[in-house]
Amino acid sequence: MGGVAVLATQAGHKVSGSDQNVYPPMSTQLEQQGIRLIQGYEPAQLQQQAGQPQPDQVVVGNAMSRGKPVVEYLLNRNIPYTSGPQWLYENVLKDRWVLAVAGTHGKTTTASMLAWILEYAGLNPGFLIGGIPANFGLSARLGDSPFFVVEADEYDTAFFDKRSKFVHYRARTVILNNLEFDHADIFEDLNAIKKQFHHLIRTVPGEGLIISNADETNLDDVLQQGCWTPTEKFSEMQPNGWSTRLLDQAGQSFEVMLDGVSQGVVSWSMIGAHNRSNALAAIAAARHAGVPADVATAALAEFKGVKRRQEVIAKINGITVYDDFAHHPTAIEETLQGLRQRVAGQRIIAILEPRSNTMRMGVHKAKLAASLSEADAVFLFQPADMDWALDEVISELGNKARLFNAVDDMINELMAMMTSDDHIMIMSNGGFEGLHQRLIKAMEA
């Protein structure tokens, strides 16, 4: 929604918005764009006040539900409203070549890679991404070319539109990164998510392209439900289609192959097999838009990553602190495996806040301990309002795990145990009560 607000501002509209507990980097971006941010959801924000007219249109995010006073006021006063995805299609996407990146994991990073490849090739794409790519410093821009890259989320659209967001976008090029059960607050089971992905496939034109992860059987199930569009496959594990050939032990230099033929070499600072897989998908999608694969591989050598995705936020006395958005066991495991591949035997301390709705419901609790196995020490934060206790995860991890109810206690324990060459991986899809900056301040002191 922050990205949609930026696009509306760039299109010349006067934009304000409301949210709760907004934190960087999105809060910083909104401020820099001159977008007025209102804390909370009071009906007064929709009323004409000194210096502020009643809005001509309200774009409603999917965090809003019936019963909230601001929603009831909106409906009772008959103020024009729409959803973020619908506004995006009608005002930005309908005349563009849309390249959509879908999947349970990796959407933000892959979309950022794809947008950067198109930019590097001189195509000046528009984009809307759920994070802030370091190469751009913004999560969204209109661009002035036919091409628009969008992170295509399967989450529902709004309280009045329960379809997945991505069916609105009418994409010509679609990346299907992976598919697992997530968003247990809105989907009953994995088949319900597969159905939404099938609806996405139904919107892709026959002259378009679907780029699908060959290692994901759940995606094969979706495609078998019906597909009317050419498909290319990518894989880190199979030689057919798009694949990789490692050129160093850490996997940070690799050859990109298409049906066994070299297309170029990527040498970059990113870590992990999941990011190499993301790169294959982005290269394939860019090629569909006319960018040769060797240009794409050259572009990725200059890819700077995404804020809050394995982002190095501090290096102090030989200790490296990372910020990562991982909140699903698969993403947690891939993040830690990628870091282990880079740092070898140096100590990794994993810090996790289980914040997503699915994690708080306990859906992933059986997989959580195994996903943290690469870490040498694990600090788990127990939110007061979570539906289940983390004690059983602690028990499964054994002596290397510690449980905390307060961020201050976590910081004090970290300060007592950290030594030079440690790698501190903080994983949360929220603000984590300011842990990141509070820890850095303590380390600097």
DSSP 8-state class, residue 327: -
Side chain identity, residue 58: V
Query: How would residue 442 be classed by pLDDT, with cut points 50, 70 and 90?
Result: very high
Is residue 25 scored above 90 in pLDDT?
no
Is residue 388 scored above 90 in pLDDT?
no
pLDDT tens digit string along 311-362? 888 999 999 999 988 778 888 898 898 889 888 899 999 999 887 777 777 7
pLDDT at 376: 95
Among 111-125, 336-350, 384-398, top mean pLDDT goes to: 111-125
Average confidence (pLDDT) over 85-97:
97
Cβ within 8 Å of residue 417, ≥6 positions away: 349, 377
pLDDT tens digit string along 137-161? 989 999 999 999 999 999 999 999 9
Name the least confident of 110-119, 211-220, 327-336: 327-336
pLDDT at 241: 95
Residue 101 · residue 177 · CB < 8 Å: yes
User: How far apart, in whole angstroms, are the C-alpha atoms of residue 388 and residue 39?
Assistant: 29
User: How far apart, in whole angstroms, are the C-alpha atoms of residue 123 and residue 120?
Assistant: 8
Apex 416 CA angle, 425 and 331, nearest 5: 15
Is residue 439 scored above 70 in pLDDT?
yes
User: How far apart, in whole angstroms, are the C-alpha atoms of residue 417 and residue 319?
Assistant: 12
Residue 165 · residue 153 · CB < 8 Å: yes
User: How far apart, in whole angstroms, are the C-alpha atoms of residue 404 and residue 184?
Assistant: 25
Query: How would residue 237 be classed by pLDDT, with cut points 50, 70 and 90?
Result: confident
| Residue 363 CA: distances (Å) to CA of 185, 335, 356, 373, 435 | 10, 20, 11, 19, 25
pLDDT at 267: 93
- Which strand ranges, in their side-by-side order, compose the sheet holding 348-352? 311-316, 319-324, 423-427, 348-352, 377-381, 401-404
Residue 127 · residue 178 · CB < 8 Å: no
User: How far apart, in whole angstroms, are the C-alpha atoms of residue 437 and residue 87?
Assistant: 35
pLDDT at 199: 96
pLDDT tens digit string along 157-183? 999 999 999 999 999 999 999 998 776
**Nearest by Cα to 228 from 250, 246, 261, 205:** 205
User: How far apart, in whole angstroms, are the C-alpha atoms of residue 149 and residue 157?
Assistant: 18
Name the least confident of 57-66, 127-136, 334-343: 334-343
Label each residue of 194-249 as H, E or C: HHHHHHHHHCCCCCCEEEEECCCHHHHHHHHCCCCCCEEEECCCCCCCEEEEECCC
Side chain identity, residue 99: L
What's the token pair of residue 200?
A: 């996405």
Is residue 7 scored above 80 in pLDDT?
yes
User: How far apart, in whole angstroms, are the C-alpha atoms of residue 178 and residue 11?
Assistant: 33
pLDDT at 50: 63
**CB neighbours of residue 383 within 10 Å:** 15
Query: How would residue 291 be classed by pLDDT, with cut points 50, 70 and 90?
Result: very high
Residue 438 · residue 415 · CB < 8 Å: no
Is residue 196 scored above 90 in pLDDT?
yes
What's the token pair of residue 135?
A: 């190469």
Among 24-33, 118-127, 317-326, 425-434, top mean pLDDT goes to: 118-127
Query: How would residue 372 be classed by pLDDT, with cut points 50, 70 and 90?
Result: very high
Average confidence (pLDDT) over 81-101:
97
Q: Which residues pair with 246 in a beta bridge?
A: 254
User: How far apart, in whole angstroms, are the C-alpha atoms of residue 394 and residue 400?
Assistant: 9
The pTM assigned to this predicted structure is 0.81
Is residue 4 scored above 90 in pLDDT?
yes
pLDDT at 8: 96
Average confidence (pLDDT) over 76-102:
97
What's the token pair of residue 202?
A: 């139904």
Q: What percent of the chain clears pLDDT 90, i.e. is strictly above it?
A: 65
Angle formed by the axes of helices 107-120 and 273-288, to 10°? 50
User: How far apart, in whole angstroms, are the C-alpha atoms of residue 192 and residue 434?
Assistant: 35
Domains of the chain: 2-79 (3.40.50.720), 85-300 (3.40.1190.10), 311-444 (3.90.190.20)
Is residue 390 scored above 90 in pLDDT?
no
Q: What percent of the chain clears pLDDT 70, i.e. is strictly above it?
A: 99
Residue 171 · residue 203 · CB < 8 Å: yes
pLDDT at 251: 79
User: How far apart, in whole angstroms, are the C-alpha atoms of residue 232 and residue 281?
Assistant: 9
Which one has a higher pLDDT value, 335 or 50?
Answer: 335
